[in-house]
Structure 1
């Protein structure tokens, strides 16, 4: 089994939530929500666009901040 790879980030959960707010505002998406996993470091982000909910999740990073940042990076790349 391959070794897990971890992202390099110093962003906090609060900083990434602010980045997500800016990203969704830019793309005129008003309906979105961050969903922290109750137990463990996982995080999900759901948003409503084109009459559909899309959910991006990350569970493999060691902290909530890192998992949320992965979600942000995926969403940011999807809208480019």
Structure 2
């Protein structure tokens, strides 16, 4: 048997643009479940969204890709 171990990482993302009031947090929760990452997502007072994701390195990168797209009514300008 050949088992590959994937490194577990944790990344915090700050998402800016039109990301509040458009279902972005719900979208993020569903994306996290789809990519099997754990963490949290919350609105920030300045209109941005903060997300923390923990999981396999590839899973977290795929999750970030989904965050960039966002739900249909959002407009993601920047993720850091």
Higher relative contact order (CA 8 A, sep 6+): 2
Higher normalized strand content (fraction of residues): 2
Shared fold (TM-score, shorter chain, > 0.5):
no
Indicate the TM-score class for this superposition, using the shorter chain for normalisation: 0.3 to 0.5
Higher normalized helix content (fraction of residues): 1
TM-score, scaled relative to structure 2: 0.39
